[in-house]
Amino acid sequence: MSSIEIRNPATGEPVGSVDTTPVDAVHDLMVSARHAQTAWGRLDFAGRARVIQRFHDLILDRSNEILDTIQSETGKSRRDALAEVVTVAGTARYYLARGEAFLRPKRRRGAIPLLTRSILEHYPHGVVGLIVPWNYPFLLSIGDAIPALLAGNAVLLKPSELTPLSAVLGKALLQKSGLDESLLGIVQGGPEAGAELLRHVHYIGFTGSSTNGRKVAIAAAERLIPYSLELGGKNPMIVLKDAPLEEAAEGLLAGAFANAGQTCISIERVYVESPIFDRFARLVADRTGALKVGWSRSFDVDVGSMIHPAHAARVQQAIEAAVQGGASVLAGAKRRPDLGPSFVEPTILANVNRRAPIAVDETFGPVVSLHRVESREEAIGLANDSQYGLNASVWAGGATPAIEIARRLEAGSVAINSTLMIYNAFDLPMGGVKLSGIGRRHADHGILRYTQARSIVRSFETGGGYDSMLGRIRGEKMAAAMLKMVRLWRRIPGIR
């Protein structure tokens, strides 16, 4: 068995290690998860909810320990770590309040009015696999496990090989809240561990890059298991000439530099109407220059470390290539080895070639390109001219034009006069179109995706019911009777 040593990306210090899970052990985890799930799936919602309610309270009581762990393996700011704890608590709270109603069996209209009754049920898949990335290691692992567990599943979770510790802590806290150890198995390791997980589970929820999402979809197709993919983005923001500029500038900073830009829904390209471009660019550049970048265990840092020196180097190269292609630097653009091995300054670029990689591909770092546009039509066209479609943001003086623009954007979510709000709007499905993914988390989608639909139809008629009725009438008479019945249905209110 090999082990993975984890270092704090902000300081380079070792902070822990985990053993990689051998291939045979994945099979064993699956068997015990399946076994434990049988009883858990039969428990009523209230029984499962008691565990998740205790967990909700426990993570708030132990938040400092969780923040320390998240920060240690990501190097992110404490504020960004806090967002993970708050959002996991919010997810738990939401599904504790609404989950039972989403999962409850529902009456549906029957095949023949009055004579039949139909019920739609949702039952758990069995063992749900979750493969998650490093950028929000507590939120994306435990936050997605909560609705899966509440729906009656067991979970096999594969954290990123870069950030395995937050998931281990999350599991320990779930166990302390009363969850059977086997109901949340953790598979440690890299892509090969993920590939092994895919050979066993009954459903896969993947969060990560679009490139790997495609591989996961192919593996799921081989076994014909259902899946959801939460993938990358190149999220646009549109700023109209009547937008509140100060607020829009603040919004951009939050939307682009939270988590050092390593957020799937973060803003990477901004289309600004020409009359306000220069003023907006100045505002944004000044405020970006004033952000505090660094490593701290207190809440005094705005922008933390990136995940890895290699990722910081990739982002730095992307900035340099853009500058060589004619881009101008309005703020930042430098690596900061004086702060730690993986820091990149929050960066604002202008005059970026619209076909340059930095304007088209997901950068996943603290870098934003500002583009001047002559009309809102041009802005909408450019925003949609992307292979991605995850999140978008619109800033306008009035609600009506903003909503009109939002309705034309090819994205899973659009925030008006805001940027990242979708992640905490638990009652709204969140996910992407195009290369940004398939399926949604949150809302009813976010728990029903962890279930299968079972339709139960029942006939009240004695003596064979619907089937024998069809069998008794034959030939022309049968055809005439059927057509008469269909015509009649059209006239009965509530049946059409």
Instruction: State the residues that interact with ligand NAD by CB under 6 A.
Output: 131-135, 140, 158, 160-161, 190-191, 194-195, 207-209, 212, 215-216, 230-233, 264, 362, 364, 390, 432, 437
Which of 84, 161, 230, 345 is flagged as catalytic?
A: 230
Q: How far is the CB of 189 from ligand NAD (least distance, A)?
A: 7
Minimal CB distance residue for ligand NAD:
194
Which of 73, 84, 196, 264 is flagged as catalytic?
A: 264
Whichever of 230 and 345 has its CB closer to ligand NAD, that residue is 230
Whichever of 156 and 264 has its CB closer to ligand NAD, that residue is 264
Q: How far is the CB of 99 from ligand NAD (least distance, A)?
A: 20
Whichever of 152 and 194 has its CB closer to ligand NAD, that residue is 194
Q: How far is the CB of 410 from ligand NAD (least distance, A)?
A: 15
Active site residue 230: yes
Q: How far is the CB of 185 from ligand NAD (least distance, A)?
A: 15
Q: How far is the CB of 473 from ligand NAD (least distance, A)?
A: 54
Whichever of 1 and 46 has its CB closer to ligand NAD, that residue is 1
Asked if 439 and 449 count as a contact pair (C-beta separation under 8 A), the reply is yes
Q: How far is the CB of 172 from ligand NAD (least distance, A)?
A: 20
| CA 463 to chain CA centroid, nearest Å | 51
Whichever of 201 and 390 has its CB closer to ligand NAD, that residue is 390
Whichever of 436 and 459 has its CB closer to ligand NAD, that residue is 436
C-alpha angle with apex 243: 237 to 247, nearest 5 degrees?
80
* Cα–Cα distance for residue pair 165/161, rounded to 1 Å: 9
* Cα–Cα distance for residue pair 8/13, rounded to 1 Å: 5
* Cα–Cα distance for residue pair 305/346, rounded to 1 Å: 11
Query: Token digits for 75?
Result: 């190097």
Whichever of 152 and 213 has its CB closer to ligand NAD, that residue is 213
Whichever of 314 and 372 has its CB closer to ligand NAD, that residue is 314
Closest among 177, 81, 180, 79 to 138, alpha carbons compared: 81
Q: How far is the CB of 215 from ligand NAD (least distance, A)?
A: 4
Active site residue 374: no
Q: How far is the CB of 143 from ligand NAD (least distance, A)?
A: 10
Q: Which residues are catalytic?
A: 230, 264
